[in-house]
Amino acid sequence: MDDYFKEALELARAQAGVRVMNEKEIAAFVAKVAASLKDIAGDCECACEQDISTADAKKSIKEKSVTCLECGKSSKILTVRHLSRHGLTAEEYKAKYGLKKGTALVCKSLQRERRKKMQDMKLWEKRRKTGA
């Protein structure tokens, strides 16, 4: 319960920074949030044990964001640094969630933008010119 209490205190501190709260309200808020966090964590253990299907893994890569299947955080790209926080490499992450080896861990819009830039640069033509 100690971890739940600490998290509840952090939330109460943030809430108290936004609006005026007296001591009783803060104490009630902390107790309520700590109990809720404990209940949620109990429910989460069952949900975490379920396997994530390949279809869910593919749905995690959206137009504007990629959702990490380990922590649920959304961003435009799943970086090596982010995956290392979970103790995974990109290859291990893809294998764990049934993604193909060539799948980019980047949102679709960013991937399209990068592809267009590379096509506009035409580096393969520049390489031929310098090699010849």
* 8 A C-beta contact, residue 76 and residue 65: yes
Residue 77 CA to residue 7 CA, distance in Å, equals: 28
pLDDT-derived band at 22 (thresholds 50, 70, 90) equals confident
CA–CA–CA angle 97, 76, 89 (5° rounding): 40
Q: Average pLDDT in the 75-101 region?
A: 93
pLDDT-derived band at 127 (thresholds 50, 70, 90) equals confident
Share of the chain above pLDDT 70, in %: 86
* 8 A C-beta contact, residue 12 and residue 30: yes
Q: What is the pLDDT of residue 116?
A: 94
What is the token pair recorded at 98?
Answer: 């049934």
Q: Average pLDDT in the 2-23 region?
A: 80
Domain 54-131: assigned CATH number: 1.10.10.1550
pLDDT-derived band at 14 (thresholds 50, 70, 90) equals confident
Q: What is the pLDDT of residue 108?
A: 94
Could you give phi then psi for residue 106, rounded to 5 degrees? -135, 145
In order of 1, 14, 27, 64, 82, the CA distances from 6 in angstroms are: 9, 13, 13, 34, 24
